[in-house]
């Protein structure tokens, strides 16, 4: 049976407080649970074993949740754009913040979580101090049960409010009436209050006051378990994970149980796996070679449909390149040779080449550590009697990518 350890971190005047639970995922039985300071929790963990994952939560007050409309579907481009898209909504310098991205909502917007980088380092350091590396670190407010409208979840002296699949916030219970007044009409259309039996009496006045101002009375759902346990049981695989980018970790499952069994299985399979790899490697390369040959012929037929009964595709390609070289639009091979010889000795990387026969121009897609190297390369080509013009330049994390259009000097 796989047992998962759930942790929620908070802080008071004495230091870090850990609320934790060891939950069996198949039977739903809670084996152990507790709430203690970090020192005491370290002692507990040292004498405890579990065979599943470790999931951690931060309180909603630690993390700012928002959404951003980013058209790109590439993760890297989204990560680059997010800080600038949400900069106006955060009080800190974006350089001091860590940004995590989640799924897109129904409107196509990307969910974003923002937390101070030093603060995140602090919490991860606290976990590392007790020998724990979680596979997921998320926000407790995102684990509140939610279907539509707004979910108001009472958690002791805190209230977790979830107004969409990706938006939530946390407030003190004393501030809840004011916060409820800020809900939009759409968020007020369907409201559900989630409260444990132990807090029913404390929250009745707040619910009554809210319903007095509503056409449709809000639903009140009594929690079957204590609030923290409800959040743990609602932990899903699609939850927002703060451990991204610089904070992404390689998770190692707890090996205190079943480690010798894993070693035995590995030893039994290693030899057979090695032989199988050698056998199928030869088969794979043979199949890939035939696939590439078929793709090459298909591409040639698409480009030159009038050629029939081609036996040597490689020779025919070279023949056509020779025709382009002598064509009216400028020689491809001459222009390409005159251009790429100047790449020698630079740190530029050639990613792609396009040639327009009618215009006689050559477009190189290049990658460089700095944008000034693209400019320097363009100047070198100009000094060599070629006409070079820099196109688009895109700045990445570690390099820049850009295009350079080259043609013979005096060409159109």
Q: Kindly give the interhelix angle for 117-129 and 38-46, rounded to the nearest 10 degrees.
A: 40
219-223 β-sheet, strand order: 168-172, 158-162, 150-155, 191-196, 219-223
Higher pLDDT, 282 or 123: 123
pTM above 0.85, yes or no: no
Q: How confident is the model at residue 1 (pLDDT cuts 50, 70, 90)?
A: low
Q: Residue ranges per domain, the chain? A: 1-143+234-256, 146-225, 258-310, 314-408
Q: Which of 210, 133, 150, 212 is nearest to 177 (CA)?
A: 210
pLDDT digits (tens, 9 = 90+) for 175-211: 999 999 888 888 888 999 999 999 999 899 999 999 9
In the predicted model, what is the mean pLDDT of residues 101-108? 84
Where do runs of H (alpha helix) occur along 160-237? 176-181, 185-188, 200-212, 227-233
Q: Which of 140-149, 332-341, 351-360 has the highest mean pLDDT?
A: 140-149
30-37 β-sheet, strand order: 30-37, 15-24, 3-12, 54-58, 136-139
Same fold, 1-143+234-256 and 146-225: yes
Q: Any idea which architecture 146-225 has in CATH? A: 2-Layer Sandwich (3.30)
Q: Kindly give the interhelix angle for 332-340 and 313-325, rounded to the nearest 10 degrees.
A: 90
Other C-beta atoms lying within 10 Å of the C-beta of residue 392? 8
What fold characterizes domain 314-408? Gyrase A; domain 2 (3.30.1360)
What fold characterizes domain 1-143+234-256? Nucleotidyltransferase; domain 5 (3.30.420)
In the predicted model, what is the mean pLDDT of residues 69-74? 85
How far is residue 31 CA from its own chain's centroid?
33
pLDDT digits (tens, 9 = 90+) for 250-286: 655 444 444 445 555 676 777 778 877 777 777 888 7
Q: Which of 366, 354, 361, 364 is nearest to 386 (CA)?
A: 361
């Amino acid at each position: 049976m796989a047992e998962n350890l759930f942790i929620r971190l908070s802080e008071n005047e004495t230091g870090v407080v850990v609320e934790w639970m060891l939950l069996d995922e198949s039977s739903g039985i809670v084996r152990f649970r507790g709430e203690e300071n970090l020192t005491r929790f370290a002692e507990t963990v040292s004498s405890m074993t579990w065979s599943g994952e470790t999931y951690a939560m931060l309180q909603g007050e630690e993390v700012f949740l928002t959404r951003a409309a980013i058209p790109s579907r590439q993760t890297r481009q989204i990560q680059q754009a997010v800080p600038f898209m949400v900069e106006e909504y955060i009080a800190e310098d974006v350089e001091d913040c860590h940004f995590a991205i989640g799924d897109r909502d129904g409107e196509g917007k990307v969910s974003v979580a923002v937390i101070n980088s030093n603060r995140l380092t602090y919490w991860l350091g606290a976990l590392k101090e007790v020998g724990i590396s979680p596979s997921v670190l998320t926000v407790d407010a995102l684990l509140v049960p939610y279907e539509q409208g707004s979910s108001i979840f009472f958690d002791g002296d805190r209230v977790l409010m979830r107004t969409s699949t990706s938006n939530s916030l946390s407030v003190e219970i004393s501030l809840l009436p004011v916060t409820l007044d800020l809900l939009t009409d759409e968020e007020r259309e369907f409201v559900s209050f989630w409260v444990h039996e132990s807090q029913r009496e404390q929250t009745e006045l707040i619910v009554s006051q809210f319903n007095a101002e509503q056409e449709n009375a809000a639903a009140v759902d009594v929690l079957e378990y204590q609030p923290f346990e409800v959040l743990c049981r609602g932990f899903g695989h699609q939850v927002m994970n703060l451990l991204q980018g610089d904070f992404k970790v390689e998770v190692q499952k707890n090996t205190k149980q079943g480690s010798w069994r894993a070693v035995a299985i590995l030893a039994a399979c290693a030899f057979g796996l090695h032989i199988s790899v050698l056998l199928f490697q030869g088969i794979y390369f043979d199949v890939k070679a035939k696939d590439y040959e078929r793709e090459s012929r298909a591409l040639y037929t698409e480009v030159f449909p009038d050629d029939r009964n081609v036996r040597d595709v490689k020779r025919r390609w070279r023949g056509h390149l020779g025709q382009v070289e002598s064509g009216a639009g400028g020689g491809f091979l001459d222009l390409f040779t005159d251009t790429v010889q100047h790449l020698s000795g630079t740190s530029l990387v050639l990613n792609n080449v396009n040639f327009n026969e009618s215009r006689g121009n050559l477009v190189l897609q290049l990658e460089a550590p700095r944008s000034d190297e693209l400019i320097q390369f363009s100047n070198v080509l100009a000094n060599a009697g070629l006409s070079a013009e820099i196109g688009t330049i895109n700045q990445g994390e570690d390099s820049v990518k850009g295009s350079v259009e080259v043609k013979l000097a005096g060409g159109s």
